[in-house]
Amino acid sequence: MRPSRAHPLWLAFVLHRVSGVALALFLPVHFWVLSYALTQPEKLDRFLSFADQPLVKIAEFGLVFLLAVHLAGGLRLMAMEWLPWSGPQKSLAAGAVGAALLLSGAFFLQVISV
Amino acid sequence: MSAQAEKLDVSVWRGDSDGAYQTFQVPAYESQTILDVVSWIQQYADPTLTYRFACRVGMCGSCAMMVNGRPRWTCRTHIKTVVKDGAVQIGPLRNLPVIKDLAADMDPFFDKWVAAGGVHAPSGSRYDPIEPVDPAGPERTEASAGIECINCSVCYAACDTVAGNADYLGPAALQRAWTLYNDAKHDARESILDAVSGTGGCHNCHSMGSCTVYCPNELDPMSAIAGLKRETAKNFFRKRG
């Protein structure tokens, strides 16, 4: 039997894990694509024009959100474990998601307005 | 008396870990706790039902069970708050071996409590003068935060890290360790950091916070474990420096 897990800090834990795994998968691909700048610039140009599609921009928004939420969530955990106070963790976890949405939303508005 | 005409469908776990749920019809009463319902089954329907309780007032920590999938102290929870569509499911505590029916084997829980350095070692004897402790001091405040633990094992049953790692000491044992670490009258404070920083120690905690959410006494084991993480890390760098 499994206890009900729908509480904010458990969801924050899942979000931190999922975003961490997604970023671990993304980074090698990211560096692989960047390597084309040195080895095959024309291939990189083709990829960059592919990346101009709206669907890819939405995916980029998701990526920036995952990066931001992993960063903010990680800062929350480090503060909890390293500072001599524990703070209102539920509010801090919600704040981490809010900050990540703000950052990725600002990024999205910026790329679609160009 | 109209309330007595109502019946609850109560599924209780029968047998050991290979058992199954058995449903009983239990009359509903006003002001009825989950423990009252379990006791009714044992007294009126099936005297072979095994369960554990002692004080019935939320002090002894004996009667914790899984109720509709979440760990609860059954003597202080009204059945009305957990019944869904006239039914409720009651099982033995998660993450512990089942002895029989609703009685879980608490040995692993208390073994880990001892392994985390939870046994008090007095720093003086009755012949020594009493050293004053400032109840508002920062250390004593940390220690006092965890002393109301009744060792009901609700946090241990709620913890997914315990479920995934049988060696993990668990929230209650680590909170006890943090309490003693901050207790000026405990004589083995340094050995606590060694006891809680091994393979099953505090650094396994993923800060999911289920312990703090489900603790019936509203204690905060997650923050206590964070305190142990901080002190063990500081101690590590002190030793190297």
The token pair at B60 is 């002894």
Other C-beta atoms closer than 10 Å to the C-beta of B123 total 14
Query: Are residues B56 and B87 both part of a single domain?
Result: yes
Cβ–Cβ below 8 Å for A5 and B157: no
How close B41 gets to chain A, by Cα (Å)?
Answer: 22
Query: Are residues B120 and B175 both part of a single domain?
Result: yes
* CATH number for the domain harbouring residue B74: 3.10.20.30
Label the pairing between strands B87-91 and B7-14. parallel
Burial of A10 (0-12, 13-18, 19+ CB in 10 A): buried
Average pLDDT, stretch B211-228? 96
- B82 vs B142: CA distance, rounded Å: 33
Query: Are residues B91 and B139 both part of a single domain?
Result: no
Q: Domain limits at B19?
A: 2-104
CB-CB contact of B72 with B38 (8 Å): no
- B219 vs A46: CA distance, rounded Å: 58
CATH class of domain segment(s) A14-113 = mainly alpha
**pTM, to two decimals:** 0.90
pLDDT tens per residue across span A41-96:
899 999 888 888 888 888 989 999 999 999 999 999 999 988 877 778 888 899 99
Query: Are residues B134 and B229 both part of a single domain?
Result: yes
- B21 vs B24: CA distance, rounded Å: 10
Nearest CB neighbour to A1, from listed B91, B160, B233: B91
Total domains in chain B come to 2
Query: Are residues B158 and B208 both part of a single domain?
Result: yes
Query: Are residues B87 and B119 both part of a single domain?
Result: no
Chain mean pLDDT for chain B: 94
Q: Edge-to-edge strand order for the sheet containing B70-73?
A: B20-27, B7-14, B87-91, B64-67, B70-73
Query: Are residues B43 and B160 both part of a single domain?
Result: no
* CATH number for the domain harbouring residue B187: 1.10.1060.10
Which run of H or of E encompasses B89?
Answer: strand B87-91
Domain end call among B104, B124, B143: B104
Query: Are residues B164 and B201 both part of a single domain?
Result: yes
Delimit the domains of chain A by residue range.
14-113
Query: Are residues B30 and B94 both part of a single domain?
Result: yes
- A94 vs B103: CA distance, rounded Å: 38
Query: Are residues B40 and B90 both part of a single domain?
Result: yes
- B67 vs B119: CA distance, rounded Å: 31
* CB-CB neighbors (< 8 A) of A89 in chain B: 207, 209, 222
Q: Which of B210, B225, B234, B235 is the best substitution to test chain A (most A C-beta atoms within 10 A)?
A: B210
* CB-CB neighbors (< 8 A) of A9 in chain B: 207-210, 212-213, 222
Q: What is this model's ipTM?
A: 0.83
Query: Are residues B73 and B153 both part of a single domain?
Result: no
pLDDT tens per residue across span B10-53:
999 999 999 999 999 999 999 999 999 999 999 999 999 999 99
